[in-house]
Structure 1
Amino acid sequence: MGFRKVGVVGLGTMGAGIAEVLARGGVETVGVEINDAALERGRGNIEASTGRAVKRGRLSEEAQAEILGRVVFSTDFAALSDCDLVIEAVPERIDLKEKVFAELDKVCGPDAVLATNTSSLSVTEIAAATTRPDSIVGVHFFNPAPVMKLVEVIGTERSRPEFVSAVTELVRDLGKTPVTIGDRAGFVANRLLFGYLGPAARLLESGEAGKEDIDASMTAIGLPMGPLTLMDLIGLDTCLEVLEAIHRDSGEARHEPAALLRSLVAEGALGRKTGRGFYTYEKVGSGSVVNAVEGKASAEVSERLYGPYLQDAAEMVRSGYCDADSADAAMTLGCGFPVGPITELRNRGQWEQ
């Protein structure tokens, strides 16, 4: 089955990016927001993103006009009534997503596929807000959607296989790399990434290593950014939400968010977007750290954090949740790691499958 018209609910940075990807791929797209102000921000997000591509010579003005012409903007859920596929991209709150899906259940046709862009919540739980759980799939794009190649496609135990296949094919047609998996908190990329980020915060909390040393230890082995710097970039509130979702699912102590992380979030120190998180920044949104100190790399620290991450990936593949190529693609294409975990295990002589 092909998708003739696709809706996107929520046009923040992520939703607008998804709408842009669809429109760039020649798909008629409907973008829906909660009110006129949010709708105009969403329109502005798409115009700004495609405008940057024009300035860089990657897109002609004519092509930009065609892309924008494929997107219809509305504050009315009824505008989604004739869509074959609707992708929800509202903030990562289960109550909000359930509310959206209950509304989609009312307005969308009986054969429509309803998808959630959740990065860590249970697709099965979200689907329970509808009368058609077999029509619900997960389609997790990574930010920024126009640039990032990885998309996780999630089928629940009740999702119709042909719907999962159709969404996977759409993702491929859009020029992305799909990883198709089952429903599990954090899926592949965030399950592995936060199984590494969470312990980094706990290590800092323990006082056994300073933040600069923890970050330096990880960049020294080739990672593009230290874990605490990365958490500040993601947003500590988002990190807390993802860790809580994974911890609820796994029940493992190492997935429990550090008390330090909870206290920073409670204080409103959410990372770069507030000017303070694990680090203090020169201004809101800046990546420049006040009184920056060069950290000292430690092989002991890097292995303490990286070793368990590699074993998590090995367990994920051995359990049959995903294959080795998918684990590697998730971390290289989705998280920017220079090498995938299974490839790294092979390089170390620790993988024989």
Structure 2
Amino acid sequence: MGTINLAEGLPAHVGVLGGGRMGAGIAHAFLMKGAKVVVVERDEQAAEAARERVEASVAKSIERGALEGEPSETKAAVLESFATSVDYADFALCDLVVEAVPEDPTLKATALAAVEREISPHAYLATNTSSLSVSELAASLKRPGQFLGLHFFNPVPASTLIEVVIAEQTSQETQAAARGWVEALGKTAVVVKDAPGFASSRLGVAIALEAMRMVEEGVATPEDIDNAMVLGYKHPTGPLKTTDIVGLDVRLGIAEYLHKTLGERFAPPQILRDKVANGELGRKTGKGFYDWD
């Protein structure tokens, strides 16, 4: 069986809390660079679903030639370093744990505190939040200097960007280590200080909310609005299709937080609230601003 060499600068053991689409993508990224990865989920059913997501994602990348070697042997070598669990104690050997639970500040703070109780005093802890205050999350931790934000982008395996969010408490050593992790993953770091929405979510949501208002006002169809940004401004995907991919419920949560912290310019349009209330959450439910069926 083949072996996957650990990329220079990468933590040898990585934990991921939450194995949904984003958590599975984060696990995939570290696995493909040679790290040992454990994903911890809330129950056995969720853990099994996370395992299936990661295995399918790794298999697809290897089939596309992401790693050298015979595909079946290479896949086996990568997945030999992968495990799932329902026990936070399995984070004990990790050098880094990335939290990837839903965007709820209470849920994240509780989860991060629980992880910190289990990890080594020398281990690093990160949150994958796309908008919540990293400094506020750090305030409830015993070792806030070893904590920061690592905002991965969906889909993680294909994205070349990680937003490194520096809390007020984050140490210089942690900042330097994070830059090394991002480089080892073959991605580019954008370093921002902790502020509502950071850089990416703040700009991305602002464009998306205005696009929704244009649909609401009958200015143009979602397809034409998206084509204007793709063809006119060279965005890879338009703001409304991106919203469908991210999830309308996720976008609504971020918009509500930015509305509360930054003011009326981030007030969620009624069309967004209505679609979320009707269960039209985008690609994951088959319908959002587009019909995915």
Instruction: Provide the TM-score with structure 2 as the length reference.
Output: 0.88
Displacement after TM superposition at 1:131 (Å): 2.3
Query: What is the aligned residue count?
Result: 281
Residue 35 of structure 1 and its aligned partner are, at CA, apart by: 1.2
Whether 1:36 aligns to 2:47 is no
2:261 is paired with a residue whose SS is helix
Would you say 1:14 and 2:14 are equivalent positions?
A: no
Q: Distance in 2 between matches of 1:226 and 1:174?
A: 27
1:94 pairs, out of 97, 105, 111, with: 105
1:118 and 2:129 correspond: yes
Q: Name the counterpart of 2:196.
A: 185
- Residues 232-271 of structure 1 show CA distances to partners (whole Å, capped at 9, x for unaligned) of 23221111112122223322x2211112211221122222
Partner of 1:80: 91
Which residue pairs with 2:226 in the alignment?
215
2:16·2:97 contact (CA, 8 Å) conserved in 1? Answer: yes
Matched, 1:61 2:72: yes
Instruction: Report if aligned partners of 1:9, 1:89 keep a CA contact under 8 Å in 2.
Output: yes
Q: Distance in 2 between matches of 1:105 and 1:58?
A: 34
Aligned 1:189-338 pairs, distance under 5 A = 189-221=200-232, 222-251=234-263, 253-279=264-290, 281=291, 285-286=292-293
Q: CA deviation at 1:100?
A: 0.8
Change (3 A) 1:47 1:275: closer
Aligned alpha-carbon RMSD (Å): 2.0
- 2:5 aligns to what? none
Quote how far apart the aligned CAs of 1:215 are.
3.2
CA distance in 2, matches of 1:41, 1:142: 21
Deviation at 1:115, TM superposition (A): 0.4
Counterpart residue identity of residue 44, structure 2? D
TM-score when scaled to structure 1? 0.74
Distance between the aligned counterparts of 2:38 and 2:250, measured in 1?
Answer: 27
Instruction: Report the CA distance shift for 1:192/1:32 in structure 2 as closer, same or farther (over 3 A).
Output: same
Runs of 5+ unmatched residues, structure 1? 287-353
Q: What is the identity, as a one-letter code, of the residue corresponding to 1:200?
A: A
Larger Rg: 1
Counting aligned pairs with the same residue, the percent is: 43
Which position in structure 2 is the counterpart of 1:330? none
Matched, 1:162 2:170: no
Q: Which runs of 5+ in 2 are unaligned?
A: 1-8
State the distance in 2 between where 1:78 and 1:165 align: 27
